[in-house]
Amino acid sequence: MKFYIDTANVSEIRKANEMGIVAGVTTNPSLIAKEGRDYIQTLKEIASIVDGPISGEVKATATDAATMVAQGKEIYAVDPDHMVVKIPMTEEGLKAIHQLHQLGIPTNCTLIFTANQALLAARAGATYVSPFLGRLDDIDEPGVDLIRTVAAVFHNYPDIDTKIIAASVRSPLHVTDCALAGADIATVPYKVLVQMIHHPLTESGIEKFKEDYQKVFGQ
């Protein structure tokens, strides 16, 4: 399983990128709005930092396929080597995914909450699907089951090359669950990536090695 970072904060993206752990970035309208900067300019800066797929979502006010396709072309033009157009799972969204696919523009179908939605998006030509596990957990439904089911369904049909991005990841445990469930990618907030690095035995082990070393060798 690969990692993408789920943020529009360029400072977090730079820090994660320097560790060599992120293969791509996902954003959404809420994440970009949180940064309070120009929408397209933010995507442009992100694409200049990470050499991998960068999901930029059509604006939240775009509801019809024609508008989504027009915005999708604009997002793709930011950096055709990296940009992926993120489109919500609706009837119009599927139409937009299909049209963008025919134009050779990669897409990420977002707000996936059932395996049927994932299968429909794959058949429409989505390059990626983003099943959201945290938001299912929030309403007392086991989100990881969705990831496992989508992975099993896609596995049954080798002609599907759509990749599964486990999204709405909220904890290190979610990340392990996604890897076991067969997600191709987990898109993870910076805070969770940092949590994954730490373990109390690692920290105390470093302290002990330092103490023993200094006793004999000094600084």
Min CB(135)–ligand E4P separation in Å: 5
Tell whether residue 162 is a contact of ligand E4P (CB under 6 A).
no
Cα torsion angle, 135, 177, 106, 12, sign: positive
CA distance readout (Å), 47 to 43, 57, 80: 6, 14, 10
Q: Contacting ligand E4P (CB under 6 A), which of 7, 9, 17, 26?
A: 26
CA atoms within 13 A on the CB side of 67: 10
Q: Is the Cβ–Cβ distance between 53 and 24 less than 8 Å?
A: yes
Q: Contacting ligand E4P (CB under 6 A), which of 39, 76, 113, 132?
A: 132
The site string for ligand E4P over 73-112 (x = CB under 6 A, - otherwise) reads -------------------------------------x--
Residue from 15, 34, 44, 86 carrying the catalytic annotation: 86
Q: Is the Cβ–Cβ distance between 46 and 10 less than 8 Å?
A: yes
167 vs 193 by CB, closer to ligand E4P = 167
End-to-end CA distance of the chain: 40
Q: Contacting ligand E4P (CB under 6 A), which of 17, 99, 127, 187?
A: 187
27 vs 99 by CB, closer to ligand E4P = 27
Nearest to 170 by CA among 190, 197, 198, 147: 190
Min CB(21)–ligand E4P separation in Å: 17
- 214 vs 219: CA distance, rounded Å: 6
Residues engaged in binding ligand E4P (CB under 6 A)? 6, 26, 28, 110, 130, 132, 134-135, 167-168, 187
Active site residues: 86
